[in-house]
Amino acid sequence: MKFVSLLIVTLAACLSFSGAMAEVRSAPVAYKDGADNLTGYLYWNDAVEGKRPGVLVVHEWWGLNDYAKDRAKQLAELGYVAFAADMYGGNKVTSHPAQAKEWMMATVSNLDGWRRRAEKALEKLASLAITDDSRLAAIGYCFGGATVMQLAYTGADLDVVVSFHGSLPLPNGNEAQNIKGRVLVEHGNADAFVPPERAEAFRAAMNDAGVNLVFHGYDGARHAFTNPDAGSFGIDNLKYDEAADEASWRAMLQTFNAAF
């Protein structure tokens, strides 16, 4: 019995980015944007010792709900420290499209404020004792995909930016030249919210600026294709696509492995 216990301890000590025998922990983290109080959720893996790459996770337009938190948890299981950001404040979460649109538009209508709020979340993640602030990434879903691109345009110190079915906002002027790391776009080619002309203009802007861009377009995939609950919101353009979901997650992990 003592031998078995010693073996377990030895194996646990050797774990690095493996999720085996790991215990993922989470905690709410309070931070501020000016006078606004925000609460993000931090996820980390007890099987990993020392500092590890940090990944900022930005939610869909519904607010910081369980979907964004679950994605952060998945990343923690793999050994990253993941911080699910709060872009709305006040624990705002909804399943009603009209309310989600109102909150999102209030955010994106103030470009400087939108970007600043994303910057505050990244700063909080980078400041944590378990985060290796020399290895940082930001990923986002839908509204969150647009958010991480806006963060990249500010010149944020990010090794990787990943947009999952984001709106692909175009840079203002030469802002794409501010992007420091790799950009991975996981896009649904059947997404009616993002016309092909927007996707092409985005790719052209990245290429003109010399950005290290990988763009994956999935035929037949609509908006929110990574979210298993996408079809429950009563919007025809929202639909889960298991194959695109799995392929896009693999692409992200491959990009992380190459960058980190």
- The pair of structure tokens assigned to 101 is 């649109």
Contacts of 76 (CB under 8 A, 6+ apart): 24, 25, 26, 43, 44, 45, 82
pLDDT computed for residue 91 by the predictor: 87
Domain that includes residue 45, residue range? 2-259
Query: What's the alpha-carbon Rg for the chain, to the nearest Å?
Result: 18
In the chain, the amino acid numbered 127 is S
Domain count, the chain: 1
Does pTM top 0.85 for this prediction? yes
In the chain the first and final C-alpha atoms are separated, in Å, by: 39
Residue 132 falls in which region: left (phi positive, over 0), alpha (psi -120 to 50) or beta: beta
**What are the phi and psi torsion angles at 21 (to 5°)?**
60, 15
pLDDT of residue 36: 94
pLDDT computed for residue 165 by the predictor: 98
Write the CATH number for 75. 3.40.50.1820
Please tell me the least confidently modeled range out of 14-23, 46-55, 167-176, 225-234. Answer: 14-23
* Unique residue bearing structure tokens 């092909």: 196
b (16+ CB within 10 A) / e for 218-250: beebbbbbbbeebeeeeeeebbbbeebbeebbe
Q: From 209, 123, 223, 109, select the one nearest 163 (Cα to Cα).
A: 223
| pLDDT greater than 50 at residue 210 | yes
Q: What percent of the chain has pLDDT over 70?
A: 92
The strand pair at 24-33 and 131-141 is best described as unpaired
- The string of pLDDT tens digits covering residues 125-178 is 999 999 999 999 999 999 999 999 999 999 999 999 999 999 999 999 999 999
| Unique residue bearing structure tokens 């400087």 | 112
Residue 85 structure tokens: 């950001």
Three-state SS for the chain is CHHHHHHHHHHHHHCCCCCCCCCEEEEEEEEEECCEEEEEEEEEECCCCCCEEEEEEECCCCECCHHHHHHHHHHHHCCCEEEECCCCCCCCECCCHHHHHHHHHHHHCCHHHHHHHHHHHHHHHHHCCCEEEEEEEEEEECHHHHHHHHHHHCCCCCCEEEEECCCCCCCCCCHHHHCCCEEEEEEECCCCCCCHHHHHHHHHHHHHCCCCEEEEEECCCCECCCCCCHHHHCCCCECCCHHHHHHHHHHHHHHHHHHC
- What confidence category does residue 229 fall into, taking pLDDT thresholds of 50, 70 and 90? very high
| Residue 152 structure tokens | 């990249």
